[in-house]
Amino acid sequence: MTAETRFRNARIVLADSIVEGSITLDNGVIAAVDEGPAQSGEDFDGDYLIPGLVELHTDHLESHYRPRPGVFWDAMASLHAHDVQIIGSGITTVFDAVRIGSDPDLPDMGQHVEKLTGAIETGRRDGWLRSEHFVHLRCELPAHDVIAQFEAHAGHEHTRLASVMDHTPGQRQFRSLDDYKRFYKDKIGRSQVELDAYLAARQAEHDRHSAPNRAHIVARAKELGLPLASHDDTTLLHVEEGVADGVAISEFPTTLEAASAAHDAGLAILMGAPNVVRGKSHSGNISATDLVRAGLLDILSSDYVPFALLQAAFVLPQRVDGLALPEALATVTRNPARAAGLEDRGEIAVGKRADLVRVRVVDGLPVIRSVWRQGERVN
């Protein structure tokens, strides 16, 4: 974008207030924010103008790539469909979470990672992606090949975040084996005998690989300057381990105890926006809204429903006394941008990138009318 652009008659959501006025863009950057009426510019008719959303952890690309068990779609087509839905949800910066590390359900994960990250690299290089895409490596620590896959992708320019996670039955999110069995028995279609054998094999992998894999990935991330997140912190020991490893973000803590400890240690706390919209966790863990009330939530992630990110930001002020819309929107804009080291975006202020979303609230639902990335209309 080279020409100057102005929007007027907008309800502009700033870092700590909402003003009615106009905004001027110049060469993809916010050049001016003015209160009061203006005579020129695109008329927003009183709609909200908010910063483009910043998403740090979405598994949605993988759901397009693997729409059914055993079905793998073309990676470029998957990325295209994902990108359209992401930008249509107001997300102008997205960290696509790509799981690395094979297991019995996905024994050849390395080839899938190559296809997905290759598609993202191609889309970025060729300039057809509407949102700006980065890669978030979700490192499954019990996997025998997670180190090899990490080394193959951690140094890429588009890889900007890694998380260490362990979904072993009896650990973290699934510390209750009974809960795990209830959650997965029908999902994976095994008899009780088969399920018990499966659980034993998963736990043996954890005992053999998790600790050395974590030590290697943490050390290499420090060497590469790659920010780290911990996943599903449940106990004080989990948080202490993360702090010792230098993680910056605690993703989806499952208990109030872990969230409180992470907050006290200065970690950014990330929770799922679907948790907010639904009013509870899908797996029975701590409510994200309760963490907001306790002052223990910094960032929301759409996780598995892209539009939930914007929806949750508008829902939260209705559910949490004293929480204003600018503060709620910070959890999906400024806070994740800062946590990822992207200081050029995430708020409407002079000099920041013109990543913007026009929103109208219809019967309580935030409806996206237009999206701009670096001043260019992309939706």
Parse the chain into domains and list their residue ranges. Answer: 1-50+345-379, 53-343
What single-letter DSSP state applies at residue 321? T
CA angle 375, 96, 257 (to 5 degrees): 110
Nearest to 51 by CA among 365, 361, 344: 344
Q: Cα separation of 131 and 86, whole Å? A: 7
Which residues make Cβ contacts (< 8 Å) with residue 154, sequence separation at least 6?
Answer: 137, 162, 220, 221, 224, 226
Task: Look up residue 183 and give its two tokens.
Answer: 């959650």
Q: Is the dihedral of CA 11, 13, 16, 21 positive or negative?
A: negative
At the topology level of CATH, where does 1-50+345-379 sit? Urease, subunit C; domain 1 (2.30.40)
DSSP 271-295: EEHHHHHHTS-TTS---HHHHHHTT
> Which pLDDT score is estimated for 338?
97
CA distance 19 to 30: 16
Residue 49: per-residue pLDDT: 98
Exposed/middle/buried for residue 362 (C-beta within 10 Å: 0-12, 13-18, 19+): exposed
φ and ψ at residue 289, rounded to 5 degrees: -65, -35
Asked if 167 contacts 174 with a C-beta cutoff of 8 angstroms, the reply is yes
53-343, what's its fold? TIM Barrel (3.20.20)
Q: What is the pLDDT of residue 170?
A: 63
Burial class (CB in 10 A: 0-12, 13-18, 19+), 45: exposed
Which among 37, 42, 45 is positioned nearest to 25, based on CA atoms?
Answer: 42
State the maximum Cα–Cα separation within the chain, in Å, rounded to a whole number.
Answer: 73
Of 336, 318, 324, 334, whose CA–CA distance to 277 is shortest? 318
> Do the beta carbons of residue 264 and residue 256 sit within 8 Å?
no
Written as one string, the DSSP assignment of 329-365 is HHTTTHHHHHHTT-TT-SS--TTSB--EEEEEEETTE
Low-confidence residues of the chain: pLDDT under 70: 1-3, 169-190, 282-284
Residue 346 and residue 104 in contact, taking contact as beta carbons nearer than 8 Å: no
Residue 299: both structure tokens together: 């960032």
Q: Which amino acid is at 270?
A: L
Q: What are the C-alpha distances in Å from 21 to residues 83, 316, 324?
A: 31, 25, 19
| Residue 160, token pair as written in the block | 């900007």
Whose tokens are 């209750």? That residue is: 176
Rounded to whole angstroms, the Cα distance separating 78 from 65 reads 5
